[in-house]
Amino acid sequence: MQSAKGLLSSWGGALSRGVTKQERALYIQNYLAKRFPHPGVPLDHEDPYTLLIAVLLSAQCTDVRVNKVTPILFARAKTPEAMAKVPVKEIEAIIRPCGLAPRKAKAISDLSRILVDQHGGQVPVDIEALEALPGVGHKTASVVMVQAFGVPAFPVDTHIHRLAQMWEFTDGKNVKKTEADLKKLFPEDIWHDIHIQIILYGREMCPARGCDGLRCELCQHCFPGRKRPKRALKA
């Protein structure tokens, strides 16, 4: 495989002969690493449990808003044992700005009780056990595995699903396939960083409302011959 440095220096020549998907992935990997060299976890947290709750709250809500709500929630309770004792209605009132408050509050209460009863009050380092918790889907479980425990995982949110299609890494059939396709393209040891880097790029450079495959820097650079807008399937 050509090195990232070599790819950058010979990109013009590569365009003339046609760039492979793997070469394009390597270029994007290098670009994102330079633009976002130290991508921190966007959600403020102290430990695996507070990260789990923050990720659950982030569904259909911005990280900025979640980061405003979680200090209030965690001041009330920041362990499974403490949270399990908080009335659901009280949790709901605190997290209301995050949206879907009744459903999220019940999930937070129920999963906290399960962690206490079945896992000794600890967040399990097991993706299947995480997915079995109320309100925790595959993406949330993957985020916890990679960001809290350093276990290789490639969480796919709406930004990643959309950009993976714009960069022609996947057909967008479903999120599960997008995840599998990206795992084949990028080395396992960078999954933690690159999934956050793609999210940051999507938010800053290629937001959903302006994303048509023609405007952002990476689309223009990687697909100079693209003339028509490209539409991405939703997750």
Question: Which active-site residues does the annotation give?
Answer: 139, 157
| 42 touches 65 (CB < 8 A) | no
Q: For residue 86, give both structure tokens.
A: 């908080």
CA 7 remoteness from chain centre: 27
Helix, strand, coil fractions of the chain, as percent rounded to 5:
65, 0, 35
| 113 touches 139 (CB < 8 A) | no
